[in-house]
Structure formats: structure tokens, C-alpha cells
């Protein structure tokens, strides 16, 4: 993350309140997000040589979905503060967009950053990413059902009429044991980067910017991606030791993305066209139980070979599973295996883009690893996820997992340069 001279484009693009309302008296007030903000950001990136590890916040589809899956995740869900107005929400999204666009370019959250401001005021940027490259940071922002209407039906921000008809809290599923402290949220931020410090810096600074307007509801660190979105990346493994992401939708498969991931203009609402729906599921794995299961059974549960990742019906990792093929005892792939239950052939053709992460949150009181998979799936409509989830909720893998956290958010398309995430919702 690079410092830049404080004299360059000071605080261009900030909302009226400015970053956190920090450094009061430093001249931030009165500067609204303007069309020039994004180009100013691009121009002021001081280290043109390292743009290779940067992604654009602005564009068409949101960054962090088809982006080659980075190594680390910091995910955070927020609730808008009681009493915050529609204008507060708009300004928060403006400030988040400005800071996110800068951080994705490897810059600090504002021009004065960690050390360029007044010594008498807390710095705008917390500083722990100074000197680090952008590390492929992507920041993806989502809007939860409660942003449009609370559980009690209150339309806090005049957005209810703009809510996607299908966006609602997910129904309960078999195998759910949800902790409200890891479920839901008015807003979410998915920060992915190849350096965990960069991902944590992003969420920490965006939380700080939200001060007085939104507060952190829950968050999750993830490491070791459990999926791939590019044909050139090797398929990673989840904590059950199996290759995960083999049959994922890849970034260059634009037809599949259009069919299964991106919300189209016809789907509506208009402000969401080009965006997607994100489902997060914190799935605790009974690691110690799994580790005592014989290999053949682990493979039956999954439907794939542990070593190669190939379907049990034969071929290599990328061979199509043949659900009719015979094995030594009956069908080669058990119809209750995870792959069988999740496969599009058994779900009306539905596919999704997965980009989850492993997590380890220390250990339980019983001395077991508190670990699992932080599932992140992108779908064109919530009902698609629900269909597949209902199907896998009775698969053989269920014996070894419990879902302890959950949420769904509509992810607006990337804003155009100088605008802010979700602007179409407020116009």
C-alpha cells in the first residue's frame, strides 16, 4: 500500500461527512463524490509498475466474483445504526466506494492516509498495510433483505419498493443450527486478497469509516481458498482433504455466467442488473469424526476420489460424472453423495459460482478444532441456491457438517467511475 503526497487530490470523492468525519477542520467537509473522483484515483496511483496485482472497483460486474480466487478472506456483515437516515446510508456507500476503489489500487483510504494528515488528529488510514502491495485485493459489497425492510416490516430508508422480489432471509434448512451472531446483516463486505493483512486492513478501515452509520454485526476470517474461478489455477482442497472447485463456473465462461450468476435486466430490479446474489454459509466440519472414517467411505460421501478429484464413475478430475455408471457394488456414484446431490443434472440444470474459504476459529471446549468451510456462492436468483441447498441438505456429507452461520445479500453491479456502489437504488 502506497503513500502519496497529501497535496494530491485531497479527499476528492468523499461524502459531505468525509471519512469518518475524521480530521475535523482539515478541509474535508463540503466535498461531494464527483465524476472526477475515480480518474483522480487512477492518476494518483504512484507505483505504476505494480498494477499487475490490482483490480478495478469500477466497471461492469462487481470485482471479487469471477476474479481469480485469492488466498485469504475477511468477510464482514454490518447493520445500519438505529436512527441513521437514507442520506447517511448514501454517504456511507459513497465513502465505502471511494475508500474501496483506492485500496484495490494499493492506495491508502484517503490522500492524507496514515501519516500525511494533521498530527493533532487520528489518521484517516490505520496504517498496517503501508508498504504492502495491493495483493489482488477485491472488495465486494452486498445489500441484505433487512436493508429494504426489517424483520418487523419497517422500511427505514424508503427502499422497500426497490427490493428484489426474491430477496428474503433464507428459509431454515435441515442441518442448520444458526448462531444469530453469525447470521444476516443489512450490508456485507467480502474482502479477498493474497495477503491476509491487506484483507483485514480493508475491512478494518471500512468498519471505521462506517462509524456512527453502520456497525459490525459479525465477521469471518478465511484462509486457503476452496474453489477456483480460472482454468489456470490448480483446484485447491477443503478441510476434508478433497479437491474443491473442480466443477465451478470459471471466469472465461461468459455464457454460464450470464445464465447462472449475473442478474439480467429482465430479471429486475433494474439497479441490480449486472450484479448477483451472494449466499454465505458458515459450515462447521466435524473434522475429528471425518478423520476416523475410512477412505472408501469418505469418497462415497463425496462422490469423487480423494487423490485425483475424479468422479467415482471414472476418468480424470474434469471428466463429467456418470450417475448411471455401475461400480463394484451398485452405482459407482452414490445418489446420496454430495456431488450427486449438488450436480446440475439433479437440480434442474442450476449451477452456481463458488468461492469459499477454509476457516479455523481455534478449538471447542471439547478440544476439537472449531473449523470448517465458509461457503460463498453467487447465483442469479436466491431460489436457485435454495433448490441446491435443499438437495444437499439430505446428502451423505450432512452427517459431518453443521451450518452455524448464514446470510444472503444482493450485490449491485460495479459502479461507473466516480459513482458509488448501489447508486441506481437511490436514483
Task: Give the binding site for ligand HEM (CB under 6 A).
Answer: 238, 240, 242-248, 281, 283, 285, 302, 304, 338-339, 342-344, 352, 373, 375, 377, 388-389, 392, 401
Parallel/antiparallel/unpaired status of strands 72-80 and 401-411: unpaired
Nearest to 342 by CA among 312, 316, 373, 321: 321
Min CB(312)–ligand HEM separation in Å: 11
Contact 359, 222 (CB under 8 A): yes
Nearest to 70 by CA among 56, 50, 55, 58: 55
3-state secondary structure of 189: strand
What CA dihedral angle connects 174, 180, 186 and 191, to 10 degrees? -80
Nearer to ligand HEM, 105 or 392 (CB): 392
| CB atoms inside a 10 Å sphere around CB 113 | 22
Nearer to ligand HEM, 75 or 375 (CB): 375
Nearer to ligand HEM, 11 or 281 (CB): 281
**Assign residue 309 a region: left if phi > 0, alpha if psi is -120 to 50, beta otherwise?**
left
Nearer to ligand HEM, 27 or 344 (CB): 344
Peptide bond into 28 cis (omega under 30): no
Min CB(221)–ligand HEM separation in Å: 17
| Whole-angstrom distance, CA of residue 283 vs CA of residue 372 | 6
Nearer to ligand HEM, 109 or 339 (CB): 339
Min CB(302)–ligand HEM separation in Å: 5
Nearer to ligand HEM, 58 or 290 (CB): 290
Min CB(275)–ligand HEM separation in Å: 20
Grid cell of 415 as nine digits:
459502479
Amino acid at each position: 500500500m502506497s503513500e502519496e503526497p497529501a497535496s494530491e487530490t485531497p479527499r476528492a470523492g468523499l461524502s459531505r461527512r468525509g471519512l469518518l468525519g475524521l480530521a475535523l477542520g482539515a478541509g474535508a467537509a463540503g466535498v461531494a463524490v464527483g465524476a472526477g473522483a475515480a480518474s483522480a484515483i487512477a492518476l494518483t496511483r504512484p507505483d505504476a509498475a505494480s498494477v499487475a496485482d490490482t483490480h478495478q472497483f469500477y466497471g461492469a460486474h462487481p470485482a471479487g466474483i469471477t476474479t481469480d480466487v485469492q488466498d485469504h478472506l475477511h468477510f464482514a456483515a454490518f447493520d445500519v445504526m438505529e436512527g441513521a437516515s437514507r442520506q447517511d446510508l448514501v454517504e456511507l456507500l459513497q465513502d465505502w466506494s471511494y475508500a474501496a476503489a483506492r485500496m484495490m489500487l494499493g492506495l491508502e483510504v484517503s490522500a492524507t492516509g496514515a501519516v500525511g494528515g494533521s498530527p493533532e488528529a487520528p489518521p484517516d488510514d490505520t496504517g498496517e498495510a503501508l508498504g504492502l502491495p495491493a495483493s489482488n485485493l477485491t472488495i465486494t459489497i452486498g445489500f441484505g433483505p433487512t436493508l429494504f425492510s426489517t424483520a418487523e416490516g419497517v422500511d427505514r430508508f424508503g427502499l422497500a419498493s426497490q427490493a428484489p422480489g426474491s430477496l428474503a432471509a433464507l428459509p431454515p434448512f435441515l442441518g442448520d443450527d444458526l448462531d444469530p451472531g453469525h447470521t444476516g446483516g443489512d450490508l456485507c463486505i467480502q474482502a479477498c486478497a493474497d495477503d491476509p493483512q491487506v484483507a483485514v486492513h480493508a475491512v478494518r478501515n471500512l468498519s471505521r469509516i462506517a462509524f456512527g452509520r453502520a456497525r459490525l454485526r459479525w465477521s469471518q476470517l478465511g484462509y486457503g481458498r476452496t474453489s477456483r474461478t480460472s482454468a489456470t489455477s490448480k483446484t485447491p482442497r477443503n478441510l476434508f482433504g478433497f479437491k474443491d472447485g473442480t466443477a465451478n463456473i470459471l471466469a472465461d465462461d461468459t455464457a454460464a455466467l450470464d445464465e447462472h450468476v449475473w442478474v439480467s435486466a429482465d430479471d429486475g430490479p433494474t439497479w441490480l442488473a449486472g450484479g448477483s446474489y451472494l449466499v454465505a454459509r458458515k459450515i462447521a466440519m466435524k473434522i475429528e469424526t471425518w478423520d476416523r472414517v475410512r477412505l472408501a467411505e469418505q469418497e462415497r460421501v463425496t462422490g469423487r476420489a480423494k487423490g485425483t478429484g475424479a468422479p467415482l464413475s471414472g476418468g480424470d478430475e474434469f471428466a463429467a460424472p456418470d450417475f448411471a455408471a455401475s461400480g463394484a457394488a451398485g452405482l459407482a456414484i452414490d445418489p446420496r453423495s454430495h456431488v450427486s446431490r449438488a450436480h446440475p443434472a439433479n437440480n434442474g440444470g442450476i449451477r452456481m459460482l463458488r468461492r469459499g474459504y477454509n476457516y479455523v476459529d481455534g478449538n471447542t471446549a471439547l478440544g476439537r478444532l472449531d473449523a470448517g468451510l465458509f461457503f460463498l456462492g453467487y447465483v442469479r436468483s436466491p431460489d436457485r441456491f435454495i433448490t441446491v441447498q435443499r438437495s444437499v441438505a439430505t446428502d451423505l456429507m450432512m452427517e459431518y457438517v453443521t451450518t452455524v452461520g448464514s446470510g444472503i445479500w444482493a450485490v449491485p453491479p460495479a459502479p461507473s467511475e466516480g459513482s458509488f456502489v448501489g447508486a441506481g437504488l437511490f436514483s
